[in-house]
Amino acid sequence: MLDYLQTMLDLALRKELQGLHFWATVYVLVVLLGTVWHVLRVRRWPSTQGQLLRLGVREFAGPALNPADQAYVPDALYAYEVAGRAYQGRELSVWKVSASGILRGAAGLLPARVKADAAGRVPVYYHPTRPHKSLLLRPGVATVVSVWLLMALVAGFYLWRWWPSI
């Protein structure tokens, strides 16, 4: 194993494709593993009742010269209380979404998943030791499975491309 890592390091230092591909794959897998770890932790966050103050889509940055280039992001504002202390949150999900052009409607996918009652009350999921960090949408099992599948795809592509030379 160490020999293979050394070989990939040597190839990368010589700017050969297999070495660069290997280390890029390792990097992406480490990032995705960190994502899985974060999502699993967020799934255990406690919840409290909050009040939805604003929910929708807003323009991201200033107006673009070409309307098709204008970016849009989900927009939320909600108030909640933890241990007698009031907080306001803006985050909807662990996923960060922005969209432009004909995909503008994709920015509205997350706000559409928020379920408020008639009085505007919503469940708010907050970090147990840092309650100022919160979300309106708890990641589901599909999120975890999606990230694991993405990891398999990334690793599988490397193996598919370089298997005979491994």
Are residues 54 and 129 both part of a single domain? yes
* CA R_g for the chain: 21
Question: HEC states along 41-103?
Answer: HHCCCCEEEEEEEEEEEEEECCCCCCHHHCEEEEEEEEEEEECCEEEEECCCCCCCCCEEHHH
Are residues 24 and 54 both part of a single domain? no
Host domain of residue 161: 2-42+146-165
Are residues 134 and 55 both part of a single domain? yes
Question: What confidence tier does 103 reach under pLDDT thresholds 50, 70, 90?
Answer: confident
User: What are the structure tokens assigned to 93, written together?
Assistant: 């999900």
Are residues 82 and 19 both part of a single domain? no
Are residues 92 and 121 both part of a single domain? yes
Are residues 61 and 105 both part of a single domain? yes
Are residues 158 and 107 both part of a single domain? no
Name residue 85's beta-bridge partners.
Answer: 82
Number of domains present in the structure of the chain? 2
Are residues 34 and 115 both part of a single domain? no
- pLDDT for res 63: 66
Angle (deg, nearest 10), helices 141-162 and 17-42: 170
Mean model confidence pLDDT for the chain: 93
